[in-house]
Amino acid sequence: MKLKNDLFLRAARGEATERPPVWLMRQAGRILPQYRALRASLSGFKELVSTPDLAAEVTVQPIDELDVDAAIIFSDILVIPEALGLDYNMVEKVGPRFPETIKSAADVDKLRPAAAAHQELGYVYDALTATKKLLDNRVPLIGFAGAPWTIFAYMVEGGGSKTFSKARRMLYQEPVMAHRLLQKIAEATAGYLKQKVAHGADLIQLFDSWAGVLPPALYQEFSLPYINLIIQELSGEVPVTVFAKDAHHAIAPLSKTSASVIGLDWCADPNEVRQLVGNERVLQGNLDPCQLYAKPEEVAAATRAMLERFGSHHIANLGHGVYPDTPLEGVKAFVGAVKNFNY
């Protein structure tokens, strides 16, 4: 079936578009009152993630309410550690916590084999199927996963952290074991993403949210090869976006991979990045999420200024996920400014 609005996919493939497409990272399940109402009626976040019809409903809410050019499946990057056998709890106002973490080679061996892990995630595939039905070809559907380094960081650290020093320490003390764990995560993730594509994902985004805690040499050794493994496994079936937050040294090497789109955080300078990767590389980003707290007319002006700096080959987005208490009028001013823009 043909998409009614394929602007996002055309831009991701590097084709010329009349304006940039727009969507917001974390648009599903953070800002909409409809989401909060549904979430409050449930036992918790994990019930929502694991119930396909509810996940589909939440995925489509931003399309109905904000009229963005793409949907992103409601799920979490942490379903992969869970499928590998490392359970997590989503603690209210704290974030994810893993009761058990990876400390030794024996812990890596105890994990489920990669080939079995992605078969644990049938509820995500069912959520994609249900979402495609609700979307009725209005806009493309984005599938996603954490980049292997970011998943590794949670599995070793056991939760969020400012420095991820336990995870980084393992790279120096136990590099062979670290590579074994990363390989396992990457293989499980590749199998999982292939299934997402088979169930209707039109583009895949890899979130390397903790790329920024690695120095360049470690990023090259412990993150990039596993991102490449996943891109190769997907073998060009759909475009892939890589978002390596706070790792500006990663932009040049990422631009040499076969990723279709490079995501930028809000501290990256569009002009400098253009100098580095050229005008033809498709970039995504990167308004400061805090800009959306300003007056709507200021949001619109800042958005237009950003679009002009990127030029064409650009997908408009924020430089990270939209914050939960962002006023909807700021979000709408952002989306509206992009939709009214013409190259």
Region of 2 on the Ramachandran plot (φ > 0 left; ψ -120 to 50 alpha; else beta) = beta
Out of 10, 13, 39, 138, the active site residue is 39
Report, in Å, the least distance between residue 333 CB and ligand CP3: 19
CA pair distance 182, 180, nearest whole angstrom = 5
Determine whether 154 is an active site residue. yes
Report, in Å, the least distance between residue 232 CB and ligand CP3: 22
Which tokens go with 193? 């993403």
Identity of the residue numbered 43: S
Determine whether 26 is an active site residue. yes
Determine whether 97 is an active site residue. no
Determine whether 39 is an active site residue. yes
**Complex with ligand CP3: residue 270 or 319, whichever CB lies closer:** 319
Out of 26, 168, 274, 281, the active site residue is 26
**Complex with ligand CP3: residue 111 or 124, whichever CB lies closer:** 124
Report, in Å, the least distance between residue 297 CB and ligand CP3: 27
**Complex with ligand CP3: residue 115 or 328, whichever CB lies closer:** 328
Report, in Å, the least distance between residue 124 CB and ligand CP3: 11
Report, in Å, the least distance between residue 312 CB and ligand CP3: 25
**Complex with ligand CP3: residue 177 or 284, whichever CB lies closer:** 284
Cα–Cα–Cα angle for 14, 270, 251, rounded to 5 degrees: 70
Listed in order, strand segments (DSSP E) in 9-162 are 71-72, 89-91, 95-97, 141-146
Which tokens go with 112? 């489920």
**Beta strands at 71-72 and 141-146: parallel, antiparallel or unpaired:** parallel
Distances (CA, A) of 238 to 186, 198, 233, 234: 18, 10, 11, 7
The four Cα atoms 100, 168, 247, 7 give a dihedral, to 10 degrees, of -30
**Complex with ligand CP3: residue 54 or 77, whichever CB lies closer:** 77
Report, in Å, the least distance between residue 275 CB and ligand CP3: 26
316 closest CA partner among 257, 280, 274, 264? 264
Which tokens go with 245? 């937050």
19 closest CA partner among 278, 310, 331? 310
Helix (H) or strand (E) holding 56: helix 52-66
What residues contact 143, with CB distance under 8 A and at least 6 apart? 73, 128, 193, 196, 197, 201, 203, 204, 205
Out of 19, 35, 69, 76, the active site residue is 76
Count of CA atoms in the C-beta half-sphere (13 A) of 70: 30
**Complex with ligand CP3: residue 43 or 235, whichever CB lies closer:** 43
Residues that bind ligand CP3 (CB under 6 A): 25-30, 39, 45, 72, 74-78, 90, 95-96, 144, 160, 207, 209, 321
Within 209-315, where are the H helices? Answer: 216-222, 224-234, 251-255, 270-277, 296-310
Report, in Å, the least distance between residue 111 CB and ligand CP3: 19
**Complex with ligand CP3: residue 160 or 296, whichever CB lies closer:** 160
* Active site residues per annotation: 26, 30, 39, 76, 154
